[in-house]
Chain A
Amino acid sequence: DGGITQSPKYLFRKEGQNVTLSCEQNLNHDAMYWYRQDPGQGLRLIYYSQIVNDFQKGDIAEGYSVSREKKESFPLTVTSAQKNPTAFYLCASSILGMGNQPQHFGDGTRLSIL
């Protein structure tokens, strides 16, 4: 079954800690994305990547970092510089270069601060 796997489903972080959220896809998609969803808010783009070893900042990149060492993997690190990290994080992927191809989403990771 092709799809996007995000892990863990729930994650707790202590103040001052960095945490890394995993995102893996086996859809052979070139483009991958990280979004953040807050209650009553839409999805806001954190980072995106169109090709291995390259990524761009989205609308709310401050306090986050990413890497794209493999086509199928796009981990997101929430650093201690992110002052309000509690949120629902969604990873997505899509075929690149065809804007009419919808993004496919994982089931998300809910991050909470202890």
Chain B
Amino acid sequence: DQQVKQNSPSLSVQEGRISILNCDYTNSMFDYFLWYKKYPAEGPTFLISISSIKDKNEDGRFTVFLNKSAKHLSLHIVPSQPGDSAVYFCAATELVGANSKLTFGKGITLSVRP
């Protein structure tokens, strides 16, 4: 049973527009969430994270929103750039007692059209 779900496998947006990548989770024990970006044949790189005590975290063009009651988070990229084209993974963990294990979603392939 998937505990972290990224239900849309792909997203295509125009350069300069907003990209919104969604992620849902089922495990109520998760209290820390991360987004990773991955290019083909490379390892994922950490992008941004959010703790469950917050509902928003911003870093430059990237903002992550967390809705705990809905068990939903989203990553907003504004403005989108062609270099943002990659696979984005949502991941979740418990800050205490889970040995820093991450549970990943299946990923969303983002394509930013010039």
- A100/B104 in contact, CB under 8 A: no
B residues near A50, Cβ cutoff 8 Å: 99
Q: Provide the B13-31 mask, 1 if CB < 8 A to any CB of A, else 0.
A: 0000000000000000000
- A31/B32 in contact, CB under 8 A: no
A residues near B113, Cβ cutoff 8 Å: none
- A43/B41 in contact, CB under 8 A: no
The interface size of chain B toward A, counting residues with CB under 8 Å, comes to 28
Q: Taking the complex as formed, is A104 at the interface, i.e. its CB lies under 8 A from any CB of chain B? A: yes
- How many cross-chain pairs have Cβ atoms below 8 Å apart between A and B? 67
Q: Which of A6, A43, A101, A108 is B89 in contact with, Cβ under 8 Å?
A: A43
Q: What's the interface size class on A, roughly?
A: 20 to 34
| Among B60-68, B69-77, B90-98, the stretch in contact with A | B90-98
- A99/B41 in contact, CB under 8 A: no
Q: Taking the complex as formed, is A19 at the interface, i.e. its CB lies under 8 A from any CB of chain B? A: no
Q: Taking the complex as formed, is A2 at the interface, i.e. its CB lies under 8 A from any CB of chain B? A: no
**Given A40-B106, A41-B106, are A90 and B32 also a contact pair (CB < 8 Å)?**
no
Q: Which of A42, A45, A104 is B105 in contact with, Cβ under 8 Å?
A: A42
- A56/B99 in contact, CB under 8 A: yes
Task: List 10 interface pairs A-B (beta carbons < 8 Å), by A numbering.
Answer: A31-B99, A31-B100, A40-B9, A42-B4, A42-B104, A58-B101, A99-B32, A99-B96, A103-B102, A105-B36
> Which residues from chain A sit less than 8 Å from chain B, CB to CB?
4, 6, 9, 31, 33, 35, 40-45, 48, 50, 56, 58, 90, 92, 94, 96-108, 110
